[in-house]
Chain A
Amino acid sequence: MRMRKRLVWTASGVALAGSAVARASGWNMPVGVTDLSQDIYGLHMTIFWICVVIGIVVFGAFFFSLFRYRRSRGAKPSRFHEHTTTEVLWTLVPLLILVVMAVPATATLKAMYDTSEADMEVMITGQQWRWRYEYRGEDVSFTSNLATPREQIDGQSAKGEHYLREVDEPLVLPVDRKVRLLMTSDDVIHSWWVPELGVKQDTMPGFVNENWVRINEPGTYRGQCAELCGRDHAFMPIVVEAVTPERFASWLDERRSAAAEAAMGLDREWGMDELMERGQEVYATSCASCHQPDGSGSPPAFPALAGNQALMDDRERHVETVVNGVAGSSMAAFRNILNPVDIAAVITYERNAWGSETGERVQPSAIAERLAD
């Protein structure tokens, strides 16, 4: 009796220590910051411990029998064909365990699929290789690009703390609000995965998948694309910035006025220097991953821009390619990704960098007119 009591205490001690080690080491899945992610974590741990107990009982009985009833101690095997009671037991017990696991798992799944009564909606679009966020009904949308500098990726400088898990513009969401996430893709299947929000959802071209979050704590939550989507699959991270509802409202106002400022740039003529400066920034975030920072490209998939005389002689084709993309290739239609000022700037930059000094400027107003057609 005392022996058994000690065994129980030891086992629960090991279990507790095991949980603590698993959590502290970062090997375990995160508990997360939504009620659902915490439910998911709870389910994971419950089922994990059920499996541990089954393992100990099964292998314990197995090794005990091997040792205690070995032939050198004179054990004689009993020979019988059937034992209905045992057979019924070993069928019923696993059945009951499965039902015990299925009940809370089904409840959690039901909650995950219930996207009704949301306070707001965000449309998430996967693109090779960036995410686009649109706050539905708020007139705010933007593209979120990898912000890790090229030198860190190429090993020319030390890697930062959030290497490949940092973006230029995070998805900002309010805490304590139910946010419905509508997910789709412009090209191939991506997957929007943020472990601490308990969300991992495929984004498919031609489909809109739904999910939702209600974040409990303000903070920065990082994730990645979880569906192999091509060469830069590892270079399209997700960063969610959870803020108080008040800060979220003022952020939305700021974004709207920033959009208005971008529109302001359309009614004036832009000089060469400002177009080149802006174009260089845009090129670095939107073009350099395929066409390379020095414009050399990776032929044949990604043609060179530097020294591409045919392209420099045909400005119309250059504009058309950037604005509408090339069907059947990786070249995206940037009309959906960049604003007219950025498109004009990046084309100007490409036509005047790396030794191609055409001296031509492409005006934002001309691009805006083209997009309006």
Chain B
Amino acid sequence: MWRVIASVLAAFFGVQKESRRREDFSRRGAGAFIVVGVLLALVLVCLIALVATLAAR
């Protein structure tokens, strides 16, 4: 699970090691990546909303 989160975060950032990419693609199915990706996207939106609220105070 931790590996999936790390890979999704790497994708958000835009940089990933080739060896990690190979490992991820050797997994069966992309379901875990999609679910974690959607969840982390929501976290990112909340985080930006929080920063914007703090800045507007």
Chain B positions within 8 Å of A329 at CB level: none
Q: Is A87 in contact with B15, judged by CB distance below 8 angstroms?
A: yes
Chain B positions within 8 Å of A91 at CB level: 13-15
Q: Find residues 13-57 in chain B having any chain A CB closer than 8 Å to their own CB.
A: 13-15, 17-18, 55-56
Q: Is the interface of B mostly helix, strand, loop or mixed?
A: helix
Q: Tell whether A106 is near chain B: CB-to-CB under 8 Å.
A: yes
Would you give the shortest CB distance from B39 to chain A, in whole angstroms? Answer: 23
Q: How far is the CA of A88 from the CA of B55 in the complex (A)?
A: 27
Chain B positions within 8 Å of A84 at CB level: 15, 17
Chain B positions within 8 Å of A110 at CB level: 55-56
Would you give the shortest CB distance from A191 to chain B, in whole angstroms? Answer: 25
Q: Tell whether A162 is near chain B: CB-to-CB under 8 Å.
A: no
Which listed residue (B13, B14, B15, B18) contacts A81, Cβ 8 A?
Answer: B18
Please tell me the size bucket of the interface on A.
Answer: under 10
Q: How far is the CA of A87 from the CA of B56 in the complex (A)?
A: 33
Would you give the shortest CB distance from A214 to chain B, in whole angstroms? Answer: 22
Q: Is B18 in contact with A88, judged by CB distance below 8 angstroms?
A: no
Q: Tell whether A161 is near chain B: CB-to-CB under 8 Å.
A: no
Chain B positions within 8 Å of A81 at CB level: 18
Q: Tell whether A82 is near chain B: CB-to-CB under 8 Å.
A: yes
Chain B positions within 8 Å of A88 at CB level: 13, 15
Q: Is B15 in contact with A106, judged by CB distance below 8 angstroms?
A: no
Q: Find residues 79-107 in chain A having any chain B CB closer than 8 Å to their own CB.
A: 81-82, 84, 87-88, 91, 106
Residue of B nearest to A102 (CB): B55
Q: How far is the CA of A106 from the CA of B18 in the complex (A)?
A: 38
Among B15, B17, B55, B56: residue with most chain A CB under 10 A: B15
Q: Is A82 in contact with B18, judged by CB distance below 8 angstroms?
A: yes
Which residues of B pack against A, CB within 8 Å?
Answer: 13-15, 17-18, 55-56
15 A-B residue pairs with Cβ-Cβ distance under 8 Å, sorted by A, are A81-B18, A82-B17, A82-B18, A84-B15, A84-B17, A87-B14, A87-B15, A88-B13, A88-B15, A91-B13, A91-B14, A91-B15, A106-B55, A110-B55, A110-B56
